[in-house]
C-alpha cells in the first residue's frame, strides 16, 4: 500500500503533528515520524523519553470503520502489531501488558497511545530500539531491543515491519472481528489471566488476580475479597 510519511529530524510530538494532518483530512495510513521528540507524550499525562536516533517514534492516522467504543480493541490490536513487528524484524519475543505495554521480561520496550481526532484514530507508537541506557528513573522499568539482544537493530526495517503489521492486524480486526483480537491478545499476554496485580486507577488502588478480558476489551480483576472488577483505565503492575 502506498502512503505518505512525514519524517522530522526533531519535533515536539508526532501526536501533535498527526492531529493537525488528521484535521486537514489526510488519508488513512498517513504516518508522522521523527528521529527525536522534544515533548514525547505517554499515557496518563506522562512524558515519553525520545532520545535522538535511538528509538522509533511514530503516529499513524487510521480511519477504520470501527465505533468509538471499540477504541480499546484497536489499542489491543496495535500492541499485537508492535510485538509481531519486533519479533519478525529483530527476533525478540515480547510480552503484552494490558492495555498496551510491550514488554521484554518485566521491562517495557514499547508503548502505545491511541487518541481520537474527529473520525480518525491517532495511533502513537514508541519503541526503544538502540538505547544503550536510560535516565535513572526509567532504568528499573525500561529496556531497549539493543539492551535485550546485545546488538543494534535497523529502525528503518522495524518501521517497515511495523507498518506492514498494522495493516495486517487492521485487516484481521475488520474481517474476523473483535473476538479474534481478544483471543489473540489473551494468547500473547501473560497478564490477561492468573496474574497477581496491583491496579492504580482514579486515585484508588486495588489488588487481585487477572481473570480475562471483557467483550469490550477491558481487563477483569478478581479482587482478594472475591469481587470481579472491570478495569477501564489505569496502570497495571505485578503485585
Q: Which residues bind ligand BTN (CB under 6 A)?
A: 13-15, 37, 40-43, 46, 48, 57-59, 111-113, 124-126
Distance in Å, CB of 7 to ligand BTN, minimum: 13
Residue number, nearest CB to ligand BTN: 111
Nearer to ligand BTN, 42 or 212 (CB): 42
**Residue closer to ligand BTN (CB basis): 74 or 113:** 113
Sole residue written with cell 503489521: 165
- Least distance from C-beta 125 to ligand BTN, angstroms? 6
CB 174 to ligand BTN: min, Å: 24
Residue with the three cell numbers 519478525: 88
Please enumerate, as own/partner, the contacts of 50-54 that have beta carbons within 8 Å and a separation of 24 or more. 50/126, 51/131, 52/10, 53/130, 53/155, 54/128, 54/129, 54/130, 54/131, 54/132, 54/144
Sign of CA dihedral 71, 32, 162, 190: negative
Q: Which is nearer to ligand BTN, 46 or 205 (CB)?
A: 46
H-run or E-run covering 155: helix 155-176
Identify whether the C-beta of residue 207 lies closer than 8 Å to the C-beta of residue 227.
no
User: Residue for cell digits 532520545?
Assistant: 51
In the complex, the smallest distance separating the C-beta of residue 110 from ligand BTN, rounded to whole angstroms, is: 8
SS3 (DSSP) at 114? strand
Smallest CA-to-CA distance from 123 within 224, 223, 235, 30 is with 30
- The Cα 61–Cα 122 span in angstroms is 5
Task: Give min distance, CB of 124 to ligand BTN, in A.
Answer: 3
- Residue 113 or 159: which CB sits closer to ligand BTN? 113
Question: CB-wise, 13 or 210, nearer to ligand BTN?
Answer: 13
CB of 179 to ligand BTN, least distance (A): 25
**φ, ψ dihedrals at 223, nearest 5°:** -70, 165
Q: Which is nearer to ligand BTN, 10 or 224 (CB)?
A: 10
Amino acid at each position: 500500500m502506498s502512503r505518505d510519511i512525514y519524517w522530522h529530524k526533531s519535533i515536539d510530538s508526532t501526536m501533535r503533528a498527526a492531529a493537525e494532518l488528521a484535521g486537514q483530512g489526510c488519508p488513512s495510513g498517513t504516518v508522522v515520524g521523527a528521529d527525536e521528540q522534544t515533548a514525547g507524550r505517554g499515557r496518563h499525562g506522562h512524558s515519553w523519553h525520545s532520545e535522538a536516533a535511538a528509538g522509533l517514534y511514530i503516529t499513524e492516522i487510521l480511519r477504520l470503520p470501527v465505533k468509538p467504543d471499540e477504541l480499546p480493541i484497536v489499542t489491543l490490536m496495535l500492541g499485537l502489531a508492535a510485538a509481531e513487528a519486533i519479533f519478525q524484524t529483530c527476533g525478540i519475543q515480547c510480552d503484552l501488558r494490558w492495555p498496551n505495554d510491550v514488554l521484554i521480561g518485566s521491562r517495557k520496550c514499547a508503548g502505545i497511545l491511541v487518541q481520537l481526532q474527529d473520525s480518525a484514530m491517532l495511533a502513537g507508537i514508541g519503541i526503544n530500539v538502540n538505547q544503550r541506557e536510560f535516565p535513572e528513573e526509567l532504568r528499573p522499568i525500561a529496556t531497549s531491543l539493543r539492551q535485550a539482544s546485545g546488538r543494534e537493530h535497523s529502525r528503518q526495517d522495524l518501521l517497515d515491519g511495523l507498518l506492514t503489521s498494522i495493516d495486517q492486524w487492521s485487516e484481521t480486526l475488520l474481517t474476523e472481528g473483535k473476538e479474534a483480537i481478544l483471543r489473540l491478545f489473551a494468547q500473547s499476554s501473560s497478564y490477561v489471566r492468573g496474574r497477581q496485580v496491583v491496579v492504580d486507577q482514579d486515585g484508588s488502588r486495588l489488588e487481585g488476580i487477572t481473570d480475562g478480558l471483557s467483550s469490550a476489551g477491558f481487563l477483569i480483576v478478581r479482587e482478594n475479597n472475591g469481587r470481579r472488577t472491570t478495569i477501564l483505565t489505569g496502570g497495571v503492575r505485578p503485585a
